[in-house]
Structure 1
Amino acid sequence: MLWTCPVLHCHSRPSSGGWQPLRFDGGAFYRKGTGELARALLVLRLCAWPPLVTHGLALQAWSQRLLGSRLSGALLRASIYGQFVAGETAEEVRGCVQRLQALGLRPLLAVPTEEEPDSAAKTSETWYEENLSTMLHCVDLSRALLDTAGQAGNGLMQLKVTALSSTRLCKELTACIQKSGGSSELSPERLAEAMDSGQSLQLPYLNAEQNQHLQASLRRLHQVAQHARAQHVRLLVDAEYTFINPALSLLVAALAIRWNSPGEGGPWVWNTYQAYLKDTHERLERDAEAALKVGLAFGVKLVRGAYLDKERSVSQLQGTEEPTQPDYEATSRSYSRCLELMLRFVSHHGSLCHLMVASHNEESVRRATKRMWELGIPLDGPVCFGQLLGMCDHVSLALGQAGYAVYKSIPYGCLEEVIPYLIRRAQENRSVLQGARREQALLSQELRRRLLGGES
């Protein structure tokens, strides 16, 4: 059962008094029901158990054979699916979002669709066209949720490029970028022109089939961005693996040229920057300065990064230097530097720069709120915070109560599609899940308080 409270409105500016650090002590858990807290504790403990995460897909298949699809599905819906997924239907998603909004939190919808390179069915143009329809529906749903809540402003949703363009093409484009050394053949301006005009683009680096797929990919990306702009929904493009990120950045830059002009009310297309990569601070500074120099708005989702193990194994296999920071502490220092850089850009350029502080780390969030106060950045301004649905609620709720704009990344969809997606995300976010011990301790503490106090 949900304990509802009135939604807290954002303050128009930081308090004129001294800065008061937020308390991430679970005090805001009083706004959640006992059943929700118990499920969260159980699921987070399960997800922190390495064998379950490592062998998740095999265990799911085993449970279906042993228990049958219906019982196995019911157990998943009552546990992992119920904790991390909004639901399958638009009505279920709307109900989840309304519960979040009652807690002062906002939705960031995420379609759990991604390419599986070994599956021929999932690398055909038909599959990408189906994903396009799904993304367009996500835009409409994001807008409808905003209208239902009676909120002014813009919605946000996540966009995964490899749902609309193949990983193989992104690998080829990345190789071309590295070979061409900034050739005008692969400039964002040229891709933006091809997106806008619909004219055929023939790159000498690609064969006929690849050029055809590139043209279709550009059309799909442009169509999503165009529809999102019309529906007042901002697109936060997910970062992926290092070996395709240059191609993703090129495609995002092309979209930004078309849709991030201040006259359009931009930025409508944001890129994601991963602090665990060694060159992130340099790239972030370069990209921000380049965008502002030509008069474009600039949107950033700043994350630590989720592909550490895969990145290291690939570099070891190829015998190349690891692109990632050596350890978590170095990643945290990188995150702090990037955060400081972007907050300064926001304070100097106002609404031209937008930032999502996407972090489950209490110190990073606390640092961001303090620097916002010191730099005079209003709570309802161009800086927001983001965490995953079902995780880090002690941070999300504290931020929401204090009046900050807080978004929860919300996957939705049918059980068969979402569970494999969740397991892959869990494998990529092992450190986050295993590091959620403090949240587990706070949940245990609140549950003991209620049980001993006789609360229900």
Structure 2
Amino acid sequence: MFYVKSASTLTRSGLEVHFRRGLLSTHRLRSTVTSTSPSPARTGKEDRGHRGAAEEETENPAADEVLVDFEKTQEVYRSKASLELLRSLVVFKLCSYDFLVDKNKEIMDLGKKVLGQKAFDQFMKMTFYGQFVAGEDQKEIRPLIQKNLAFGVGSVLDYSVEEDISEVEVGQIESSVCLHACTRVGGGVTAPFLLRANRDSMKGGTKAFTCTNSEEAKCDRHMETFIKCIKASGWSSTDGFSAIKMTALGRPQFLLNFSEVLVKWQNFYAFLAAQQGKDATLKKKLDLTQIAFICEVDMLGCFINTFLPSHRCIDVLDWNSLIDERTKTAHLLVVPNVELGELEPLLKRFTQEEEEQMRRIFQRMEILGMHAQENGVRLMVDAEQTYFQPAISRLTLEMQRIFNTTKPIIFNTYQCYLKDAYENITRDVQLSKREGWCFAAKLVRGAYMYQERERAEEMGYEDPINADYESTNRMYHRCLDYVLDEIALNRKANVMVASHNEDTIKHTLKRMNELRVLPKENKVYFGQLLGMCDQISFPLGQAGFPVFKYVPYGPVSEVMPYLSRRAQENRGFMKGAQRERELLWKELKRRLASGELLYQPVY
């Protein structure tokens, strides 16, 4: 089986870390995967209905309104020395040139050859690295954390050493299992096409990756680094955050394989719903007695008696809850192949190595969750590439079921540049309400846009990204409004508005005022990247809103992929950051005129 039967004891640095219990043997490993089907059209009436009750209770929102001024540069940049302002101006200007951004890897490689590694590292610390990264280790980043906290801004510690798999490995797996190429139901998927993808997978076999002890040891070292981040967040503030990456806790190849299983399961539900003339939304239920292939191979009794004894109609959440029994019932989950005239398994079986990798990922995640609880820290699971995301979301939701029972500790990340972001977030909110745990989300626009679009074009599947920036803005606000309404309704949900868009921040403040959600309730958090949008972060913090800087750290050489990706993904922002540059110039000129050019922050 690929679910954890027991949580064994791990030894870390001579310390015995004992699990409370075999949590994952008593908590069924249920699936709520990131959807791969398009979001159905939602009417404004539906959205208004969700938040109507909360808005009706608003009597005098102006009484509790907190005003934030983003224009006073003297207050905005009180935490910055003049040299820091000058560095920001130079870096922002350089990042606005497409040539430098497009060729950043080649330029950095050339810089290493010309300057040598030591001189290159020092140059980066004076410029790009110094702007966007806090330092190499926890000792080096401590002064910055303390300074920001003194000016009302907390920190989300993020060890920014990124893991991925090669282009060849992704291509081999994606092409063999048609992970994204399986046309969505809305695009006219047919049973033969769906089965053809599965048959090819069975013939060629999804690539089996051997997980070596050194690779497992590397994941364990990453876990130890995350534990140090959690402890550092605990001492840095009473209500801190720490970021973790799932690809650092488990083999990326395994996450890709696991995503394949989850996506196929989700697509199959959409296919069955289409057969009954329905869509795959939460409001629609499947009638198992009307699914022809189940009746033909006498599976109805198995589905109803084994899994769903109380009813024969299921929704998508019920369907997802069956995935934890996949390895037991793989021989029953068969579908007819019209080309071969045979019955075939829908899902692949995990190997013993893959089952062990699953078990170890959960053990590492549970250890991190326990440390977060003990240190009063919330964990943010970063979103990653879409070919990993179904597995990442699924694993994160399982940990939310365990640790978010009384208060939100585990935060999932939703990328609003994806076309199905709204469907994903509404589904997870409904799941949390059904099961009684606290929903917690970080909303981002997205950080892998160029990479995702290039891969979609190369692999020949539908671009998962919204058509343009304005479409992403609309999606972001739609998701944000939905979660804010949920907070107003039951006060159990939490959200971090991770945005550099001043209009989005103002929209959030307006909605909080309308819904009577106060800053001191700590239900709505704000987040920006270190080195960006100080004119948003510090005024919010000084006005009493819980605001955090994402604080990346790590060795210069190992953080280069992070800086390269940020340069690519933020090029649009940097090119349009005229307002921020104007504010920086305004403050520098003010200091020059008032004789404060040598100003140093005091805290």
Q: Report the TM-score, using the length of structure 2 for normalisation.
A: 0.66
- 1:41-440 map, 5 Å: 41-118=89-166, 124-146=215-237, 152=238, 154-181=239-266, 182=319, 184=321, 186-187=323-324, 205-262=349-406, 266-350=407-491, 352-381=492-521, 382-440=523-581
Deviation, 1:317, is 2.1
2:33 counterpart residue number: none
User: 2-side partners of 1:14 and 1:48: how far apart?
Assistant: 41
Change (3 A) 1:49 1:15: same
The Cα of 1:380 is off from its aligned counterpart by 1.9
State the Cα deviation string for residues 320-350 of structure 1 (Å, max 9, x = none). Answer: 2222211111111111111111111111111
Q: CA deviation at 1:165?
A: 1.5
Matches of 2:359 and 2:534 in 1, distance apart?
Answer: 42
**Alignment CA distance shift 1:212-1:235 (3 Å):** same
Q: Which moved more, 1:112-121 or 1:41-50?
A: 112-121
Distance 2:324 2:541 in 1: 41
The two structures have a TM-score, normalised by structure 1, of 0.86
Report the CA distance shift for 1:180/1:444 in structure 2 as closer, same or farther (over 3 A).
Answer: same
Structure-2 residue corresponding to 1:38: 86
Deviation at 1:17, TM superposition (A): 6.0
Contact 1:87 1:414 (C-alpha < 8 Å) held by counterparts: yes
Greater mean deviation of Cα atoms: 221-230 or 378-387:
221-230
Is the Cα contact below 8 Å between 2:416 and 2:443 reproduced in 1? yes
On the 8 A contact 2:261/2:348 being kept in 1, the answer is no
Cα distance in structure 1, aligned partners of 2:324 and 2:369: 19
Structure 2 CA distance for partners of 1:311 and 1:68, relative to 1, 3 Å: closer
Q: 1:189 and 1:301, CA in 2 relative to 1: closer, same or farther beyond 3 A?
A: farther
For residues 384-433 of structure 1, what are the alpha-carbon distances to aligned partners after superposition, in whole Å with 9 as ceiling and x for unaligned?
Answer: 10000010001111211221111000011222222332222322333233
> How far apart are the structure 2 equivalents of 1:450 and 1:121?
58
Partner of 1:356: helix, strand, or coil? Answer: strand
Cα distance in 1 for partners of 2:114, 2:487 equals 55
Structure 1 unaligned spans of 5+: 1-12, 147-151, 191-202
Q: Give the drift of 1:282.
A: 1.7
Partner of 1:28 in structure 2? 75
Q: CA deviation at 1:52?
A: 2.3
Q: Tell me the CA shift for residue 294 of structure 1.
A: 1.3
The structure-2 alpha-carbon separation of the partners of 1:180 and 1:21, relative to structure 1 and needing over 3 Å to count, comes to same
Give the superposition deviation at 1:183: 5.5
Cα drift, residue 110 of structure 1:
0.4
Letter of the structure 2 residue corresponding to residue 29 of structure 1 = V
Over the matched positions of the two proteins, sequence identity in percent amounts to: 36
User: Which AA in structure 1 matches 2:588?
Assistant: L
- 1:205-256 superposed Cα distances (whole Å, 9 cap, x missing partner): 2222222222221211121112111211111111112222111111011111
> Is 1:109–1:410's contact at 8 Å kept on the other side of the alignment?
yes
Please state how far the C-alpha of 1:454 moved relative to its aligned partner.
3.3
1:88–1:413: 8 Å Cα contact kept in structure 2? yes
Deviation by residue 1:166-208 (Cα, 9 ceiling, x = unmatched):
2221221111112234465634999xxxxxxxxxxxx962222
* Residues 1:125 and 1:17: Cα distance change in structure 2 (over 3 Å): closer
- Counterpart residue identity of residue 34, structure 1: S
C-alpha distance in 1 between matches for 2:98 and 2:499: 22
| Whole-Å separation in 2 of the counterparts to 1:121 and 1:435 | 46
Taking a change above 3 Å as real, the CA distance of residues 318 and 25 of structure 1, as seen in their structure-2 partners, is farther
| Aligned residue-pair number | 422
Stretches of structure 2 lacking an aligned partner (at least 5 in a row) = 1-59, 170-210, 267-318, 328-346, 598-603
Please give the alpha-carbon distance, in whole angstroms, between the structure 1 residues aligned to 2:72 and 2:507. 16
Which of the two has higher C-alpha Rg? Answer: 2
Deviation (angstroms), 1:141: 1.1
1:358–1:386: 8 Å Cα contact kept in structure 2? yes
Superposition deviation, residue 368 in structure 1: 0.2
